[in-house]
Chain A
């Protein structure tokens, strides 16, 4: 009888703990979802001129300039991306298109104008570097929040900004990171800093949103930096001429426009 009562109390305590933990997880997941949407799904579509600076461990710089177009088919879901390269000379006029489908393999196309070649690219590995930078393809288009378990670690300050600090652990073993800590701005819900830890628990990469600007009423990280602390190299990405909700049509993200860049969107 007594044992039975103890067990009951024990079970109730466990349940309360579980519910409590669950609530916190829900809050953490909700925060990560908001951060994901704020960073990768701003507006219904967007166009920007991008300057990417890749700096290796010896301080040598490489520049990539491209136009990037994005259309959200579903908020938090399918997205289409279009990239028109301007610099350096060997990739100039090249276009690249991605149909991103969360939880599935992306469809990717590359058009090489010098040989008039439309190439479909096998996109199994989302952790491949994006054009030789410290950003991976997944860093560019985002990793769906439901692929990780999230825990709200604390509320804190990052510089002069109030932030939530969330820890994310992949549900299934994942090459990109073993653990990630995200600092989410309390006002804008943009991730201001992300720390990627490898399997050994060591810090591998740090993402920082260095500059937040209000673009057409949407807080936007216009200067982003990814540092690989293990390789002692980093990449910065600067977005200019940003335009949201321009009424982009889905047919821009087809082979027709892959071969014929939509000049109205390319500055």
Chain B
């Protein structure tokens, strides 16, 4: 599952070399056990547990005047996957400055931008939904990119450019620990015979990913424009000849605003998803172009309770053409998709106890996803958490309905050092 590429090997080497030169070096990390069980006896997966893993993360940080080097390396024991022992370089990058206006970050890195809370419109950096759905820490929602990031700070705003030479897809449930909806089977599947991998675009220059952003402040309002050139991050295209799922080409143009208002923070974001392999919208095996928009608001209810709400919709640009070309008997997606979410976070006992709930609900697809967790910091080093991921849906082919058999509850223990 986890591969050592030449790039990461080079980065590790670069890190070791520059660590030798650097002024100060720190090593920290944590150990963690995560065990989760499925709550639905009908889940068609082979694995009985949704998670059963022990993890050691080592963080190495080193900086000098010239550069900063950071590495985060995970060693994992998982009693389901073969081999049981594995490792992954989560981050390994060098950060440096050229002149006074240019910042660079080169190597394996986690990248996030945009304004939404767990809703991503212009953030097309890889997510790890397998981690997200099974109770791993928030830091595992993002999968690393091997990328070159540059930022230019000019008086009119900040230009950021991220170049990912090899397309980096989302990590989604593929039938191993978590089941998924297979459109060819027409049902939710799991188990060894149903494992699948989307076919990645060839490793060519034209198949690289480019993400750009221009951002600036107008008083206390931060505004940004975005551009992405790459591919859908999930294998949503279907190649009928080879009977394979693949990642169709995608351009995204977007904008966002975020501002303090009414004692809280409000955000607006929108993006046009230009489906480059189906510009006419008449190919039912490739998603149509859409316009996705959201609005959100967060504020404190009292000193220890924070709440937010978000609304998102997604408008299919050529729905008529899409509907006309849909094969007989297919599920027809609505012209407009709606999603509302809410998050509640309550801190207790001098912030040593955190109770959190996050709910997604789509009235148009009639599905639901709830994330619930209680986490207690027994000491600064030791944290105990329990949580649950609950899915529901009236249809098996919707975003969250597809995972409705993956309901799970987990316990997690973390010891930091």
Contact = CB atoms under 8 A, between A and B. Distances in A.
Contacts of A233: 350
B374 interface: no
Interface of B is mostly: strand
Interface in A127-166: 127-129, 131-133
A62 B139 contact: no
Contact of A263 (B63, B111, B220, B222): B63
B30 interface: yes
A256 B153 contact: yes
A89 B416 contact: yes
B263 A124 contact: yes
B95 interface: yes
B263 A132 contact: no
A123 B72 CA distance: 32
B92 to A, nearest CB: 14
B365 interface: no
Contacts of A133: 350
A228 to B, nearest CB: 10
B350 A125 contact: no
B82 interface: no
Interface in A160-200: none
B33 to A, nearest CB: 16
Contacts of B299: 122, 124
B262 to A, nearest CB: 9
A114 interface: yes
Interface string A60-72: 1011000000000
Chain A contact patch, size range: 35 or more
Contacts of A89: 28-30, 380-381, 416-417
Contacts of A92: 28
A56 B299 CA distance: 28
A105 interface: yes
Contacts of A260: 68, 95, 103
B325 interface: no
A89 B377 CA distance: 12
B260 interface: yes
Contacts of B28: 89, 92
B61 interface: yes
Given A124-B264, A125-B300, A256 B103 contact: yes
Interface in B258-306: 258, 260, 263-265, 298-300, 302-304, 306
Interface centre among A105, A114, A128, A233 (most CB of B within 10 A): A114
Nearest to A60: B379
Interface string B116-136: 000000000000000000000
A26 interface: no
Given A56-B350, A63-B380, A132-B350, A107 B260 contact: yes
Nearest to B139: A114
Nearest to B297: A122
Interface of B: 28-30, 61, 63, 65, 68, 72, 95, 103, 109-113, 138-139, 141-142, 151, 153, 158, 220, 222, 258, 260, 263-265, 298-300, 302-304, 306, 347, 350-352, 377, 379-381, 383, 414, 416-417
6 contacts: A114-B72, A118-B113, A120-B260, A122-B264, A125-B303, A129-B350
Given A90-B383, A122-B264, 8 more contacts: A63-B380, A89-B416, A107-B220, A115-B142, A120-B265, A124-B300, A129-B351, A255-B158
